[in-house]
A and B are shown apart, each in its own frame.
Chain A
Amino acid sequence: MSDALHHLQKNALKPKYTGARVTRKEDARLLTGASRYLDDIEIPGMYEIAFVRSQRSAARICAIHLDAAQATPGVKRILTAKECPCFFGSAEDVANGVVQPALARDVVRYVGEPIVAIIAETRYAAEDAVERVQIDYEPLQPVLAMRESLLDQPRRVHEKTPNRMFHSEYQTSGFEDAFQAAPHHLVEVFQTHRQTGVPLETRGLAATIDPGSGRLTIYATHQSPHGLRGDMAVALGIEENELRVIVPEVGGAFGIKAHAYPEYLVVAYAALKYKLPVKWISDRTECLLTDVHARDDIHEVEVAFEGNGRILAIRDHLRADAGAYSAFPFCGAIGETVLASRVLTGPYTIPHLATTIDCTYSNKTPLGAYRGVWGPIASFVQEGIVDRVARALHLDPVEVRRVNMIPDELFPYTNAAGQAYDRGSYRASLEKALEMLNYDELRAQQKTLRDHGKYIGIGISAFVEPTAMAQSEAGSVPYESATIRIEPNGSVTAAFGLGPSGQGHETTMAQLIADELGVDLKDIVVLHGDTDSAPFGGGTGGSRSGPIGGGAALKAGRAMKEKLQTLASHLLEAAKEDVQLEDGKAFVAGVPTRNFSIRELAQVAYTDVLRLPEDFPVGLEVVARYQPKRPVTFSNGTHIAVVEVDAQTGMIEVLDYVVVNDCGRLINPLIVEGQIQGGVAQGLGSAYLEELRYDDQGQVTTTTLADYLLPVATEVPRMRIAHLETPSSGEGGFKGMGEGSLIASPAAFANAVSDALEPFAFMVSALPVTPDQILAAIDRSRDSMA
């Protein structure tokens, strides 16, 4: 038995906070308007930046006319590529001989690409000047369609580089034979359209030279403070100790803030070079144009299966549109396809898989991370396949899932792509969800309602969620760090390299530490987001903060506990193993009156140091790093959506929504449920509402929140949530869970619509599915029947 499990069991009886519905420590400042987001930060004498952005998807820049802008009142300085010669190059782009300049030089490659930066006294003045900049373009033919781009048609996005920027192939041995031998086959093309995270707080950056240290200080809305520091230091040509990154309160991130953007380089460079405090905050149109887009994928799928619904083999040609550049520091197109190809068989024992992946450049916004990254796409394909098999064989979709579901006795299970799944509650979560829904009864009702012209659909989505990956988008380090310092008065300060954006880490990490140290939650302060005070870490993303960050919290907590026990045992003249920590005191087991308070111990450790045992270092500080032994741990669960489709209008109403979620041991159910509810809402948006549309010239036509439709309170259903807990083998038994709800829910909503429209022989094959598409499908079916 591992130390971790042993420890877990030893303490299983008495955690006071871990697993409890603890309200959040963060909330006091957030509820009173006292918190400080990026745009709330005021540096004396600060200037604001506004960008002149490309209005063309593909063009040569012939001339930039700045005279009128220079003369605009309030303008301090104007930068073009000449004045700001910085660039970002992701590993993927650099391999292809491509880098993205901070400001476009000579050529623009997508609408919204920054060309000129105006530094002015106020954003109002900067925008006055933006209007007065004139740019002469020589238009180029835009590259917009994936299929054509693959053939370098109509042209190359980067003259010297083929448009196919990534390619890979994979096949299980014996695939062809197994595929050919199967009695049934089906084909389908699945497509997901561009979407993006749309955090309510837009992204941005402020930068200044710190007058105290002379160092560059960057304030950023970002998920990975240390990752950003490293990337910016390289791009600016300075050392990491000459740069301090401070991440203030972050108003939502959802993956888009795991990236660094060209504007960030301009802001930081302006501060560094011209010694100006400057700030740039994206407006909502800039957000929809230039935050990384996501989900621009096509899957051409062939499936081989047996008459009982057992799926034998899947062949998939995956394609994704990377946009004009790889997003920095990682490419969303590659992430979405490569990782989708690894979990395409989901929770099922599908033995054979063959995948081909092609990612291409285009004259569109770079593709990057949005919560779930590959997951929502892979689940949509995988669960779409299952429902198609069911329909082809006239079987209940549940039966096909039962036939294919990985049985409990096969864990740990290695899927067809070589991914090792740890134990979960695959079957149990499906059965539990069906029970919560009263599935059989609902199926009967569905039939009756159909006869009355009401179209109810039940959509099931059984999902796997790879979490806590050794390689994930956020920072790409396989570990997290935690420091704990007990201050001279006995209060506890912990610091993490995480980059939370609403997940409540100040609470959950404090819960874990409080239980280890036996102190009250209110006596712990959790710091993060300042590279001067936080230990180096990967940040938040890829559902890693709970399992890896939490593991670091436990390890650090345990190390501190050990120190306190050593010190107390010396002072109490008791055996160390007999010293217990509870209620802010160290005491001898069974004799609570023989105790030292933590405050007293801290006083000895810092002040009364002559009383310390030999070899005991002065002070009470520890740093711990946790790297899980497994490269990934899989959460799982089942979502079921019940919808009604209005066959007259194509409009969809969600009637019920059930979630059974297993993310291992729960730290705080309140927070876990909040994450699930938010992810399901985003899934509703992904399935029905949200789409970044391009016209045939490469112009984004959805540039406000009146066009890019986010879910509102009236659309999102009340969800019913149940938890199953299959602990991971990692520290604490935690698994990640930040993305699972958005991984599972688009497929559940899509399948529910497909199920409702079964009488019309329609299945959703592209997301989002919109009312006009639904109505057109119903009409086609009616026409063909007539």
Chain B
Amino acid sequence: MKPAPFSYIRVATVEEAANALSEYTDAKLLAGGQSLIPLMNYRLSKPTVLIDLCGIEAFASVSLKDDVFTIRAGITHQSLHEHPLVRAYAPVLAECAGEVGHWAIRNRGTLGGSLAHADPASELPAAMVALDARFVLTSVRGERTVTARDFYLGLFTTDLAEDEILTRIHFFASSANRIHFAEIARRPGDFALSGAFVRVEESATEITWFGVSDMPYHLTLDALPVEEKARQALFTSLASTLEPLDQTVYRRKLAAVVAERAYLKGRRVQA
């Protein structure tokens, strides 16, 4: 179980990375490598060129200005989890980053890597969909911005073009506060069997599920019933339309449960 051979390029700037990516076909970007390297160990992924982003200066910064968070893609899950700005103004993001993999994986794995990998059971892509985040994609052709909700196209499939790098993430801090999160996994650090981000406003509710579809599943509703039974019935009925990749009945049930748990968390916090 060892990777197939490849050529290795270490870049110091985003521009260098974009240039390398446009120059080589069959190249892959390496960020934290926590998904890619196991795949390479299994030879399920065999890029001929690997472009390592870990040498890019200041590729892991977080800033908050005029209610807009800007996070550069190279930040590790653990840094995201511990970052004081994130903890204070986007606590749900800090919380769910702490649920990604194990500690040693979070020390290495990056936000950008996770978002671009698009694992349907992963917390962070769903968090970004819930936050209605904007991703800045950079290539030699320039930059473009795409919403997280448009970015995800299917199982491990995104709108990222072959020559593009996900470099920055933007979202509004004010929206982050009202989103709450719950998930269920067999063991801590395992991919979620089902998870949900729930955003409750006075007149509307948004749910973003993960682990229960081929990609984050987002929907907007009217205000939720306050009465428990009616609300749970609604979650159950919504979840019954989900198409999980396996354990369909079970994951649908869990989807209703995590939605309710995230909702209750929100009610507790906001009370």
- Chain A residues in contact with chain B, CB under 8 A? 123-124, 127-128, 131, 283-285, 648-651, 689, 706, 709, 712, 714-715, 771-772, 775-776, 779
Residue tally, chain B, CB below 8 Å to A:
20
Q: Which secondary structure dominates where chain B touches chain A?
A: loop
B186 contacts A127, CB within 8 Å? no
A127 adjacent to B250 (CB under 8 Å): no
Q: 8 Å CB contacts to A: which residues of B3-42? A: 3-5, 42
26 contacts between A and B (CB under 8 A): A124-B3, A127-B1, A127-B2, A128-B5, A131-B43, A284-B1, A285-B42, A648-B257, A649-B184, A649-B253, A649-B254, A650-B250, A651-B184, A689-B186, A709-B186, A709-B187, A712-B187, A712-B188, A712-B189, A715-B187, A771-B250, A772-B247, A772-B249, A775-B253, A776-B250, A779-B253
Chain A residues whose CB sits within 8 angstroms of the CB of B222 once the complex forms: none
Q: State A649–B211 Cα separation when bound (angstroms).
A: 15
The answer to whether the Cβ of B201 comes within 8 Å of any Cβ in the partner chain is no
B67: interface (CB < 8 Å) = no
**Chain B: residues with CB nearer than 8 A to chain A?**
1-5, 42-43, 184, 186-191, 247, 249-250, 253-254, 257
Residues in B with CB closer than 8 Å to A706 are 190-191
- Report how far A675 CA is from B191 CA in the complex, Å: 31
Contact B1 A283 (CB under 8 A): yes
Task: Tell me the minimal C-beta distance from B127 to chain A in angstroms.
Answer: 21
Contact B2 A124 (CB under 8 A): yes
B232 to chain A, nearest CB (A): 10
Q: Would B43 and A127 count as touching, CB distance under 8 A?
A: yes
Shortest CB-to-CB span from A693 to chain B, Å, is 11
**A128's contact among B4, B184, B186, by CB below 8 Å, is which?**
B4
For B5, list chain A residues within 8 Å (CB): 128
Are A714 and B187 in touch, CB under 8 angstroms? yes
Inside 8 A of A285's CB, which chain B residues have their CB?
Answer: 1, 42
**CB distance A775 to B250 under 8 Å?**
yes
By beta carbon, the residue of chain A nearest B4 is: A128
Which residue of chain B has its CB nearest to the CB of A772? B250
* Chain A residues within 8 Å of B188, by CB: 712, 714
Besides the known contacts A123-B2, A649-B184, A776-B249, 11 further A-B residue pairs in the complex with CB atoms under 8 A apart: A124-B2, A127-B2, A285-B1, A285-B42, A649-B253, A649-B254, A689-B187, A706-B190, A712-B188, A714-B188, A775-B253
CA–CA, A714 and B185, complex, Å? 13
A270 to B184, CA, bound (A): 49
Which residues does chain A contribute within 8 Å of B3, judged by CB atoms?
Answer: 124
* A649 interface neighbour in B4, B190, B191, B257, Cβ under 8 Å: B257
Q: Which residue of A lies closest to B253 (CB)?
A: A775
Once the chains are docked, how many angstroms separate the CA of A15 from the CA of B1?
51
Q: Please give me the residue from chain B that is nearest to A712 by CB atom.
A: B187
In the bound complex, residues from chain A placing their C-beta under 8 Å from that of B42 are: 285
Which of chain B's residues has its CB closest to A123's CB?
Answer: B2
What separation, in Å, do the CA atoms of A248 and B85 have in the docked complex?
A: 52
> Which chain A residue has the least Cβ–Cβ distance from B189?
A712
How distant is B193 from chain A, measured CB to nearest CB, in Å? 8
Across the interface, A131 reaches (CB within 8 A) one of B4, B190, B254, namely B4
B249: chain A residues at CB < 8 Å are: 772, 776
Give the complex CA separation of A624 and B250 in angstroms. 60
CA distance A649 to B4 in the complex (A): 41
What is the chain B residue whose CB lies nearest that of A73?
B5
Contacts of B247 on A, CB cut-off 8 Å? 772
| Among all A-B residue pairs, the 9 with the closest Cβ atoms | A772-B250, A283-B1, A124-B2, A648-B257, A714-B188, A712-B187, A127-B2, A649-B184, A772-B247
Docked Cα-Cα span, A358 to B4, in Å, equals 46
Task: List B contacts of A284 (CB < 8 A).
Answer: 1
The residue on B at minimum CB distance from A283 is: B1
Identify the closest chain A residue to B194 (Cβ): A649
